[in-house]
Amino acid sequence: MRDKGLSRAFSQQTAPGTLSELWERTVRGRPSSPAIVSNGDIQSYEEVNARANQLARLLLREGVGRGCLVALALPRSSAMVISVLAVAKAGAAFLPVDAGHPPERISYLLADAAPALLCTTEAAAPKLPADGDVPRLVLDSDQRTATLDALPDTDLTDEERGGPRTATDLAYVIYTSGSTGRPKGVAVTGAGLPALASAKVAAMRVTGDSRVLQFASPSFDAYLTELLAAFTAGATLVVPGPDTLAGDPLKRALHDGRISHAVLPPAAVATVSPDAAPDLRVLVVAGEACPPGLVEQWAPGRILINAYGPTECTVCATMTGPLNPHDEVTIGRPIPGVSVHILDDRLRPAEAGETGELYLSGPGLARGYLNRPDLTAQQFVANPFAGGGERMYRTGDLVSQRPDGDLLFHGRTDDQVELRGFRIELGEVESVLGQHPLVARAVAVLRSGATDGPQLLAYVVPANGTAPAADDLREHAGRFLPDYMVPSIYTTIDAIPLTPSGKTDRAALPEPATSGRGAGQEPRTAAEWLLCDIFRDLFDPAEIDVHSNFFELGGNSILAVDLIQRAQEAGLMILPRTVLDHPTIERLAAIATAGE
């Protein structure tokens, strides 16, 4: 007999409310409490609220209204937080834009989403593509600052907004990797935000004296989790600088910020030790599979929770209770308002304990994919276990349910992978590489790295028999893909291995042809000597010379943070993009010496 319990809806509900209403309730209850701490600057709830009200009125003056989409190209900062609140207060939806992404990708995103306005800063504006028809608002220019200061700072009225806010209004659009080579915009309403806020506050035990780390990039939906967990409980959101948080920068942020609560991907957690966070009471890991070893290291002395959820289901769908060392790591149970369905390929409930595909339903489901009705219809399907036109989201994740109700993750039904908290469609990477004139076909695969966790690898079949250089392929990929989607290692092969059914056989791909080093040339300059020493520390016991390649040795974005930090401490100025474009010691030393 099939277990119909796998398709039941969870009855626990939370009070309705939009993002701005959730925020304003806390402002009324804790006006003088610290809301944001950033670079030593402390802003109370009423101060942040006043600034958000002024910006919301400026947005309305610029033609933004209910139903509009506002692009926010700001780094991790208090200004970004205030901008998100201001957009919500104006009755609009926000679209985060990472100014560090390639201009081609940003141009596509803006053209596809067609926001009414693009808000940015004087520092970020030069990084954005010059083309495009989206009006820009530079928030920290002298003119805009003076205008903002002169606007009323009281809460906006429905009359000013042109109508009341509702939970079914669009709240935000997050772009994720797309299997066809195009990023896709997930359009999410506010209907799932109250349940998410309630679940996070309860599970994380956030209180008014908590200090929540703002870790996630604003272009990642975990950003909403951090804001809601802090602001719904009246806690303090601690916002570090815009640098990537891993290794020493993350250690300083946790220690100096006296962080009590954090939501981090396991790859970032692995770069610090529990001793680095003496004030940390609750840690939620999310964004990728949680290794058992991490639980053994971090569970003692604090509450450790594993969370799971696709962007299409308002950030989070399931959470565990507090994890204990040596326990089997699950993805937990659905949060209130979320229903889980474990189904076979005919949409029938799986037998108890049987593996099936996970489908999700509930008010937190996204509207669908922006301007992609075909993809929306494919992934958001009718729910056969409910009436009234309710839908389910097909996650593509394979799970089973234990007797105690917790869900076990068993992999994917497709080629989607997660790398350091980011969801990547391998098809998008392959599509970009296939556009290179010397590439006939490309295959991307995620495999364990030689040094520190998984790496994204690429295999290419030459178009004319001439193998393209790895550096050329890396530079090409970097023009269209964010850093975390650019493969580390490139291997040329004669043909793509296929399964008997004619599909790509990734398991049959050869080991990557990596050297990691050149002909043994010794360093000649001070910069090369310094970088050789750093490489030896990072990649011990590999042999290192000036031709050693950071990525071929096993480097990734997490290790790049460590490399940059050590180089800067030694007096060499290196940026994340520099490592991507110039991955050998010889080239890095030349760029650092030139001061670029």
**Strand spans (E) along 170-218:** 170-176, 184-189, 211-213
Mean pLDDT of 537-545: 83
243, part of any domain: no
Distance CA 396, CA 275 (A): 37
Q: Which helix (H) or strand (E) holds 137?
A: strand 136-138
- Which of 86-90, 127-131, 578-582 has the least mean pLDDT? 578-582
Q: Tell me the DSSP string of 94-114.
A: EEE--TTS-HHHHHHHHHHH-
Q: Does residue 173 share a domain with residue 72?
A: yes
- Which of 8-17, 90-99, 363-372, 433-442 has the least mean pLDDT? 8-17
122, part of any domain: yes
Establish whether the linkage from the previous residue to 541 is cis, with ω within 30° of 0: yes
Whether residue 191 contacts residue 168, with contact meaning beta carbons closer than 8 Å, is answered with yes
pLDDT of residue 35: 98
296, part of any domain: no
pLDDT of residue 12: 36
pLDDT of residue 9: 31
pLDDT of residue 501: 63
Q: Which helix (H) or strand (E) holds 590?
A: helix 585-594
> In sequence order, what are the residues at sequence separation of 6 or more whose Cβ sits closer than 8 angstroms to the Cβ of residue 293?
none
Mean pLDDT of 100-119: 94
pLDDT surpassing 60 at residue 281: yes
Mean pLDDT of 401-424: 88
Mean pLDDT of 2-27: 61
pLDDT surpassing 50 at residue 3: no
Give 14's pLDDT tier (boundaries 50, 70, 90). very low
The range of the structural domain enclosing residue 564 comes to: 526-594
Whether residue 14 contacts residue 337, with contact meaning beta carbons closer than 8 Å, is answered with yes
286, part of any domain: no
Give 518's pLDDT tier (boundaries 50, 70, 90). very low
Q: Does residue 531 share a domain with residue 485?
A: no
Helix (H, G, I), strand (E, B) or coil at 13: coil
The CA-CA-CA angle for residues 242, 243, 248, to 5°, reads: 135
Tens of pLDDT, residue by residue over 22-69, are 999 999 999 999 999 998 899 999 999 999 999 999 999 999 988 899
111, part of any domain: yes
Domain boundary (191, 209, 238) is at 191
- Which of 11-15, 512-516, 550-554 has the least mean pLDDT? 11-15
Q: Does residue 589 share a domain with residue 459?
A: no
Secondary-structure breakdown of the chain: helix, strand, coil percentages, each rounded to the nearest 5: 35, 20, 45
Q: Which helix (H) or strand (E) holds 563?
A: helix 557-569
| pLDDT above 90 as % of the chain | 60
126, part of any domain: yes
pLDDT of residue 573: 84
Q: Does residue 500 share a domain with residue 444?
A: yes
Q: Tell me the DSSP string of 230-242.
A: HHHHT-EEEE--S
Q: Given CA atoms 463, 467, 468, 473 in this order, what sign does their dihedral have?
A: positive
Domain boundary (156, 191, 226) is at 191
CATH of the domain at 490: 3.30.300.30
Helix (H, G, I), strand (E, B) or coil at 159: helix
List the structure tokens of 121: 């800063």
Query: What's the Cα-to-Cα distance from 27 to each of 23, 77, 270, 326, rounded to whole Å?
Result: 6, 20, 36, 42
CATH of the domain at 94: 3.40.50.980
List the structure tokens of 435: 């556009």
pLDDT surpassing 70 at residue 2: no
Contacts of residues 380-384 at CB distance under 8 Å and 24 or more positions apart, as own/partner, are 380/312, 381/347, 383/341, 384/347
Q: Which helix (H) or strand (E) holds 47?
A: helix 45-61
pLDDT surpassing 80 at residue 503: no
CATH of the domain at 551: 1.10.1200.10
pLDDT surpassing 90 at residue 453: no
Q: Does residue 568 share a domain with residue 423?
A: no
Averaged confidence pLDDT in the chain: 89
User: In this structure, what is the dihedral angle of CA atoms 222, 224, 229, 234, given to the nearest 10 degrees?
Assistant: 150
Mean pLDDT of 125-150: 92
Q: Does residue 556 share a domain with residue 484?
A: no
pLDDT surpassing 90 at residue 197: yes
Q: How many domains does the chain have?
A: 3
Whether residue 338 contacts residue 13, with contact meaning beta carbons closer than 8 Å, is answered with no
Q: Does residue 128 share a domain with residue 25?
A: yes
List the structure tokens of 246: 């891993």
263, part of any domain: no
pLDDT of residue 505: 84
Q: Does residue 557 share a domain with residue 439?
A: no
pLDDT surpassing 70 at residue 513: no
Instruction: Give 540 or 463, the one with higher predicted confidence.
Output: 463
pLDDT of residue 593: 65
Distance CA 113, CA 92 (A): 14
What burial letters (b/e) apply to 455-494, b meaning 16+ CB within 10 Å? Answer: bbbbbbbeeeeeebebeebbebbbebbbbbbbbbbbbbbe
Q: Does residue 553 share a domain with residue 462?
A: no
Helix ranges restricted to H, 176-318: 193-204, 222-233, 248-256, 266-269, 292-298
pLDDT of residue 497: 86
432, part of any domain: yes
Q: Does residue 561 share a domain with residue 500?
A: no
pLDDT of residue 514: 59
Q: Does residue 40 share a domain with residue 177?
A: yes
Domain boundary (136, 156, 191) is at 191
Q: Tell me the DSSP string of 50-68.
A: HHHHHHHHHHHHTT--TT-
Q: Does residue 186 share a domain with residue 40?
A: yes
Please name which of 236, 242, 235 lies closest in space to residue 215, comparing C-alpha atoms: 242
Instruction: Give 75 or 452, the one with higher predicted confidence.
Output: 75
pLDDT surpassing 80 at residue 557: no
Distance CA 202, CA 210 (A): 13
Tens of pLDDT, residue by residue over 225-278, are 999 999 999 999 999 988 777 888 899 999 999 999 999 988 889 889 999 999
Q: Given CA atoms 374, 378, 379, 382 in this order, what sign does their dihedral have?
A: positive
pLDDT of residue 10: 29
pLDDT of residue 207: 97
Whether residue 162 contacts residue 65, with contact meaning beta carbons closer than 8 Å, is answered with yes
Query: What's the Cα-to-Cα distance from 424 to each of 490, 531, 567, 585, rounded to whole Å?
Result: 18, 31, 29, 29
